[in-house]
Amino acid sequence: MIAFPNAKINLGLHILNRRPDGFHNIESVLFPIGLSDGLELIEAPDGNFAFTSSGLQIPSNGLPNLCEQAFWLMHHEFRIPKVHLHLHKVIPAGSGLGGGSADAAFSLKMFNEKFSLGLSHSDLELLAAKLGSDCPFFIRNEPMLAKGRGEILQPISLSLKGLHLMLIRPGLHISTAEAFAGVKPAQPARTVAEILAQPPHTWKKELKNDFEESLFSTHPLLGEIKTKLYSQGAIYAAMSGSGSAIFGLFEKKPAENLKQAFHDSFIWHEELN
Choose the catalytic residue: 134, 147, 210, 226: 134
User: What is the pLDDT at residue 59?
Assistant: 83
Share of the chain above pLDDT 70, in %: 100
Task: Count H helices and E strands in the chain, helices first.
Answer: 10, 12
Q: Is 8 an annotated catalytic residue?
A: yes
Structure confidence at residue 254 (pLDDT): 87
Region of 96 on the Ramachandran plot (φ > 0 left; ψ -120 to 50 alpha; else beta): left
Q: State the catalytic residue, choosing from 8, 109, 147, 226.
A: 8
pLDDT recorded at residue 181: 87
CB atoms within 10 A of CB 126: 14
pLDDT tens-digit readout, 113-146: 999 999 999 999 999 999 998 999 999 999 999 9
Whether 263 has a pLDDT exceeding 80, the answer reads: no
Q: What is the mean pLDDT of residues 2-9?
A: 98
CA 126 – CA 136 distance, rounded (Å)? 7
- Give the model confidence (pLDDT) of 176-207 as tens digits: 888 888 888 999 999 999 999 999 999 999 99
d(CA 111, CA 175): 29
For range 86-110, the mean pLDDT: 96
Give the contacts of 257 (CB within 8 A, at least 6 positions apart).
Answer: none
pLDDT at 222: 95
Q: Per-residue pLDDT tens for 43-57?
A: 999 999 999 999 999
pLDDT tens-digit profile of 148-179?
Answer: 988 899 999 999 999 999 999 998 888 888 88
Lowest mean pLDDT among 9-13, 35-39, 74-78, 179-183: 179-183
Structural domains for the chain: 2-155 (3.30.230.10), 164-271 (3.30.70.890)
Does residue 264 have a pLDDT over 80?
A: no
Per-residue pLDDT reduced to its tens digit, 211-237:
999 999 999 999 999 999 999 999 999
Is position 37 annotated as part of the catalytic site?
no
The predicted structure's pLDDT at residue 143: 97
Mean pLDDT of the chain: 94
Residue 268: per-residue pLDDT = 94
Is the pLDDT score of 255 beyond 90? no
